[in-house]
Amino acid sequence: MKPSINSKLAIIGVAIDLGAGTPGVSLGPAAIRFAGVTERLSNIGYQVEDMGDIVAIKPVSPHTDGTNLKNLDEVARVNNLLCEKVSTAMSANLFPLVLGGDHSIAIGTIAGVLQHKSNLGVIWFDAHGDINTDETSPSGNIHGMPVAVSLGLGHDRLTSIGGTDKKLNTKNIVFIGCRDLDAGERKILKELGITVFTMHEIDRLGMTEVMTRAIEIASNGTDGIHVSFDLDSMDPVFVQGTGTRVPGGLTYRESHLALEMIAQTEKVVSAEFVEVNPIIDHKNETAKTAVALIGSLMGEWLI
Ligand X SMILES: NC(=[NH2+])NCCC[C@H](N)C(=O)O
Note if 143 is an active site residue.
Answer: yes
Q: Under 8 Å CB-to-CB from 61, ≥6 apart: which residues?
A: none
The active-site residue out of 102, 130, 180, 260 is 130
Taking CB under 6 A as the criterion, the residue among 260, 275, 281, 300 binding ligand X is 275
For residues 100 and 206, give the distance between their C-alpha atoms in angstroms, rounded to a whole number. 29
Region of 1-9, 13-21, 47-55, 118-126 interacting with Mn ion (CB under 5 A): 118-126
Minimum gap (Å) between residue 266 Cβ and Mn ion: 26
| x/- map, 240-259, ligand X, by CB under 6 A | ----x---------------
Q: Are 265 and 225 in contact (CB under 8 A)?
A: yes
Region of 24-32, 57-65, 89-97, 120-128 interacting with Mn ion (CB under 5 A): 120-128
Region of 53-61, 87-95, 151-159, 222-230 interacting with Mn ion (CB under 5 A): 222-230
Note if 126 is an active site residue.
Answer: yes
Residue 246: phi and psi, rounded to 5, are -130, 125
Taking CB under 6 A as the criterion, the residue among 13, 112, 144, 224 binding ligand X is 144
Minimum gap (Å) between residue 229 Cβ and ligand X: 11
Q: Which does 173 bind (CB under 5 to 8 A by kind): Mn ion, ligand X, none?
A: none
Residues designated catalytic: 103, 126, 128, 130, 143, 230, 232, 275
Per CB under 6 A, residues contacting ligand X are: 103, 128, 130, 132, 137-139, 141, 143-144, 182, 230, 232, 244, 275
Per CB under 5 A, residues contacting Mn ion are: 103, 126-128, 130, 230, 232
